Chains A and B, each alone.
Chain A
């Protein structure tokens, strides 16, 4: 069973549906203790970084405990940003600090709209389990205004004005800035690859 964390940041119907499509058994734990039974954790979410504050210390402890037991975690969109130390979107609101760096706002211009909405290409600086079978340059669906910096943890980068980390991986901690549940066959493949990491 995969634990899909619902902390009120957006609707989870699409994520749940896509996970069912690739054969995952999904549950939404009502309290942190229920994470004990999960083989893996998915933290989705859209909107303001401050929404992650709903994941209080008990949830953070449970999620960190799950990671320490070797269970894979996948952060999607805001969930990826939460893996970092924080975001300029919500100063003082701490991320999990599993990745080093702060998330920051993408800079727009007359020809560059923010939020970054739509299909954009993934480029792979190095191999990743998450992108096995996914071609360089494949396009996936994004919708966000803030993004994570490109560090050694980046397994995919995407450019919208600036270049940002569209996926990160460290050990069994994974994050994707795009929405695999809305990215057609490529997105379903990424979710399938995550299931293989379980």
Chain B
């Protein structure tokens, strides 16, 4: 039986891991390669490096970070944040990324999804959808959750899948950094609408929240950052809890 995946996200700025609360107030949580290796030992299923660097100089350092992480772990590695073009994606893949995650760029230029899917295969293309409830509708936001769009999350996720995306990384802006739990309603709506796996993100505050998003949210995978970074909760403990709830995991 296919396991539900637990994915650790490393928000990286200038080569260092940080984690924003509501995408602001970043605090340092360590060296990306060290952290990735520790997660790997604990049994994390995948690692995502999300580049939150603002400057072009900092972005050039991303390839070094990706390379350093890729040398340490032999599980799927995704790179997201700042992938705006085929060249950006190629640089990430050449550095050792197995998948790239597209966000704003996919919405601005949806052809990029198809271009990358035909070059690297759909399995290498994740479309990140940042969503926020507005008057009862889950709307897509871009530019790190700062700018609203006219697109609905479910409809955009469906289009992304039909254009060649292999997975959807769905982040609830309402929940991100709040530790109140994943947005199960949002996740279930998107998961039911697309044939491809949906990774739920935003809001993990307790181990119980993961069980909720797999059962009520129908998520295929769940992503979190700060809940793991400070060893508050270990990956192994989380998986043991999920297994006790009869949720299939890799232990």
Binding site for B on A (CB under 8 A): 9-11, 13-14, 17-18, 21, 46-47, 108, 110, 113-121, 139, 141, 143-144, 159-160, 181-185, 187-188
Contact = CB atoms under 8 A, between A and B. Distances in A.
B98 interface: yes
B93 A11 contact: yes
Contacts of A159: 1
Nearest to B4: A118
A8 B5 CA distance: 29
A94 B195 CA distance: 29
B123 A182 contact: no
Interface string B215-251: 0000011000000000000000000000000000010
Interface in B55-99: 70-71, 74-76, 93-96, 98
Interface residues of B, number: 31
A185 B75 CA distance: 9
B167 A184 contact: no
A14 B121 CA distance: 15
Given A14-B96, A141-B75, A113 B197 contact: yes
B40 interface: yes
Interface in B114-157: 120-124
17 contacts: A10-B120, A11-B93, A11-B124, A13-B70, A14-B74, A108-B195, A117-B166, A118-B220, A119-B2, A119-B45, A121-B1, A141-B76, A144-B123, A160-B2, A182-B75, A183-B75, A184-B75
B28 interface: no
A182 B124 CA distance: 13
B120 A11 contact: yes
A117 B167 contact: yes
A183 B43 CA distance: 11
A187 B98 CA distance: 16
A188 B93 CA distance: 21
A17 B70 contact: yes
Contacts of A117: 123, 166-167, 196-197, 220
A143 B74 contact: no
Nearest to B221: A118
The 10 closest A-B pairs by CB, nearest first: A47-B121, A143-B123, A46-B121, A139-B250, A119-B250, A119-B3, A120-B2, A117-B197, A11-B93, A118-B5
Contacts of A9: 121
Interface string B158-185: 0000000011000000000000000000
Given A10-B124, A115-B166, A117-B166, A183 B74 contact: yes
Contacts of A110: 192
A54 to B, nearest CB: 14
Nearest to A45: B121
| Most chain B Cβ neighbours within 10 Å, of A18, A108, A113, A187 | A113
Contacts of B96: 13-14, 17
A108 B93 CA distance: 29
Nearest to B122: A115
B71 A17 contact: yes
Contacts of A187: 74
A17 B94 CA distance: 12
